[in-house]
Chains A and B, each alone.
Chain A
Amino acid sequence: MTDAGTIRIALAGNPNCGKTTIFNNITGAKQHVGNYPGVTVEKKEGQCEYDGKQLLFIDLPGTYSLTARSLDEVVARNVIINEKPDLIVNVIDASNLERNLYLSAQLVELGRPMVLVLNMMDIAERMGIKIDIDKLSRQLGATVVTVIGSKNIGTQDILNTIVDAAHRQPKDNPPVHYGDVLEPSIGVLADAIQKSGIIRYPVRWLAVKLLENDSDVVAQLAAIEGTNRMIAMAATLRDTLKDKVDLDFVFAQYRHQFAVSVYNDAVVAVGSSDSLSDRIDRVLTNRIAGLPIFMGIMWLMFNVVIEVGAIPQDWLSAGFDALGKWVSPMIADEQLRSLVVDGAIGGVGAVLSFVPLIILLYLFISLLEDTGYMARAAFLIDRIMRACGLHGKSFIPMLLGFGCNVPGIMAARTLDNEKDRMVTILTVPFMSCGARLPVYTLLCAAFFSESMGGTVLFAMYAGGIIIAIALAVLLRQYVFKGEREPFVMELPPYHVPTLKGVLIHMWERTILYLKKAGTIILGASILVWFLTAYPMDVEYSRDYDAAQATVTTSIAERQMPVLQSLGLAALDDDENLSAMVEAMTAAAADKEAVKGLEAGQYPAVFAELEAQNPTLYRQALPLYDIQKAGDDELADLKEAQDSEKLQQSYAASIGHFVEPVLRPLGFDWKIGVGLVAATAAKEVMVSTLGTIYSVQADENDDSNLVRYLSQDPAFNPAVALSLMVFCLLYMPCLATLAVMKRETNSWKWPTLAAGYGVALAWIMAFAVYHIALAAGLG
């Protein structure tokens, strides 16, 4: 617990009441996000100093009620009961007072001093709702403050009231009256509780909860010694009452009545319902225009997050490459250099490469949620998602999953229901993400005609979706069964989001990703690097250093006669000439420019160079040819050396070790190495296969590898299909697993996902391989 000088405040309220905005207004960036122990519910705390006092705010999960039927609600009320905050601040949407008061009725019962914050007063005013603040205050026994959170108006009043109220003795909260049938029983039970001396709970509240047969309270109470009599007494009372009233509903009904009576007493004028929000809604959820508008917004979101996000991603990766190249020469020791450049810098680069995606994702999620469109989107698409055992709000995570599984899984946070969220998180990895595409296109290009390749590619995407749906249905049926959760979703009025709210949301999620998932991704990247880079002291079949030296000398020797004929001792003696050769080399290094060129052909840029200075160009060309031939030879040597090194690495040992298991799928140990390396990120499969086949290849240029693969007898179309299926399913990449761990707050789910992923991948790849063989694709 905190020191005695700190005032502890629990912030409670309905979802969409603007609670988070007020929390942000008060605490600014001084927030801490964690998890309540053992559950996935997030715990948000923030601090602020006011009037010389330390205030600690606990932002409770937004709930409509405080029953034991949802985790959020149990968490919210347990904080109030167990941590006994000095004050409850109940944030209320003034434009939606009646429904909000239902929660207030239950908060009042918990017997803590309470401050009522009427938020969104501007909207209430515009709707013509007039509230008698004094009456409301008296009815609930709480001080009432009116604010406009979105404009940061009234924040000082809240703080003043809090500091004030924390000093005063709490006003007596008028209890909710449960009618003549129930009250005597509540009295009897409350007396018994009073006598037993259990002071952990508010007495009257406990009596009501026992009569309601609240599962969480009964279970907690049963764990305390000497409470059996009390529980038995409640059961007897329930028995005598059950014929007179409907015990399932009667308590809620009286609470609603309480809320209605407070509302009727305090609200002077009722507002009109046809607000601007309703008019906007009529367009956005229109029967005809609604879905096209939805598709447009989704298209925009996908493109901004995935496509625009790819631009800073490229900068980052280029930046880290450059950093690596810059650092490289400074470290003499080969082992240390590899650790720093390939391990550490590469790993940090891998972690940071997701940051642009996450920032953009949360820009969109904040906008969609804060405006109120998210609920509409779910409303529009729910019919389709439900057919797959999912929720309307699962659509956005699934869609983003096609770009990258990491933001997809993080977007599942928008699902309020725990089970829906878990099913969504576990199915997102079957969406073929952008990193799997290079693997598909490589294999399609190597083994299928262009038209056939398109079909295969489509089948991969469709296959992933079908498996995701099947898994969702199975998970619903067998894992996340239990009582069915109803689909009741509030469609909150449209609001203009606040810049501060959006920025804080983006900042908070990015920091969480870096802290919780980033460290795991970094560790895993270094592990995969280690497996592919070690052992270092490889015995090569030939002396590569000597071979390289020979090539370098031969370049100089061959260039010598050409230089001598020009009257030069060395290339550097003529600045113009060396600049021309350099320009030509640089032009030929541009992968786009040399794409599709035959041996002996020059890139198009060469014609421009020739036009600029024909004489110089003619002098430079033979020098360039010699340089290029030598460089190519050096590159081949490097590839061959890397290939030998990888073949003796720990990853290769694993590849050989698992080969017997992979044989039935048509894979040899080389593919095994690729699969091990690709756990870091699936596109790594392409570059790893490239290294093994000792050809230059990465996800942007695989033309050489296509040729090698199509000539390798170990490969055929059936193997290619099998490998594609395996790659789609075998396990989410390490970044996805790390985010899964963070979002489910447990290692159990990522472990399981990797486990059944591999099993499923093996079975499906096996089936596909043998069907393809039977179909004559072998």
Chain B
Amino acid sequence: MQSKKLSEMKSGEQGIVEAVHGHGNISHRLVDMGIVKGSHIRIEKLAPLGDPVEVKVKGCALALRMREADLIDVNCSEGE
């Protein structure tokens, strides 16, 4: 079991979402877009200025700021 924040993951890394922290709007927006416990998530790339980050969840590409990526815990060992 290797768990880390989405914001610490590198381009190409993937895993299963373990938890979404934060309250109210922020976490609910993430959940509505499919970033929910159990979803498979992969880092596609970083923007040229290092932020935001593009991830793929449920077959769809999302852009997140690092601030949001900080709220997401990912278990990387299972995603391989």
A contact set with B: CB distance below 8 Å: 64-65, 67, 69, 95-99, 102, 248-249, 252-253, 256, 271, 273, 281, 285-288, 290-291, 375, 378-380, 382-384, 386, 392, 483-493
Contacts and interface: CB of A to CB of B under 8 A. Distances in A.
Given A285-B54, A383-B50, A492-B61, 19 more contacts: A96-B58, A99-B60, A249-B27, A252-B28, A252-B36, A253-B31, A288-B48, A379-B63, A383-B52, A483-B26, A486-B30, A487-B52, A487-B67, A488-B29, A489-B63, A491-B54, A491-B62, A491-B63, A492-B60
B21 to A, nearest CB: 11
Nearest to A101: B58
Contact of A99 (B26, B28, B48, B58): B58
Contacts of B46: 287
Contact of A67 (B32, B34, B56): B32
Interface in B32-72: 32-39, 45-52, 54, 56-65, 67-68
B24 interface: yes
B51 A383 contact: yes
A592 to B, nearest CB: 44
B29 A485 contact: yes
Contacts of A490: 33, 60-63
Interface string B3-31: 00000000000000000100111111111
A256 B51 contact: no
Q: How large is the interface on B (under 10, 10 to 19, 20 to 34, 35 or more residues)?
A: 35 or more
B5 to A, nearest CB: 15
A556 B58 CA distance: 87
A731 B19 CA distance: 49
Given A249-B20, A249-B27, A483-B25, A382 B59 contact: no
Contacts of A65: 28, 32
A482 B20 CA distance: 21
Contacts of A69: 24-25, 28-29
Contacts of A392: 52
Nearest to B35: A488
B4 to A, nearest CB: 20
Contacts of A386: 65
A375 B68 contact: no
B62 A98 contact: no
A287 B45 CA distance: 9
Contacts of A492: 60-61
Nearest to A291: B48
Nearest to B31: A252
Interface of B: 20, 23-39, 45-52, 54, 56-65, 67-68
Given A98-B58, A248-B27, A379 B34 contact: no
Contacts of A98: 34, 58-59
A65 B33 CA distance: 8
Contact of A287 (B24, B35, B38, B48): B48
Contacts of B32: 64-65, 67, 102, 252
A492 B61 CA distance: 7
A285 B47 contact: yes
Given A99-B58, A285-B45, A379 B52 contact: yes
A487 B25 contact: no
A486 B29 contact: yes
A276 B68 CA distance: 29
A158 to B, nearest CB: 24
B68 A380 contact: no
Contacts of A256: 31, 34, 36, 38-39
9 tightest A-B CB contacts, nearest first: A383-B49, A65-B32, A491-B61, A486-B26, A487-B65, A99-B58, A98-B58, A489-B63, A252-B31
A99 B33 contact: yes
22 contacts: A64-B32, A65-B32, A67-B28, A102-B34, A248-B27, A256-B38, A256-B39, A285-B45, A290-B47, A290-B48, A375-B63, A380-B49, A383-B49, A383-B50, A484-B25, A485-B26, A486-B65, A487-B67, A488-B62, A488-B63, A489-B62, A491-B54
Contacts of B68: 486-488
A256 B17 CA distance: 13
B54 to A, nearest CB: 6
Contacts of A273: 56, 59
B63 A483 contact: no
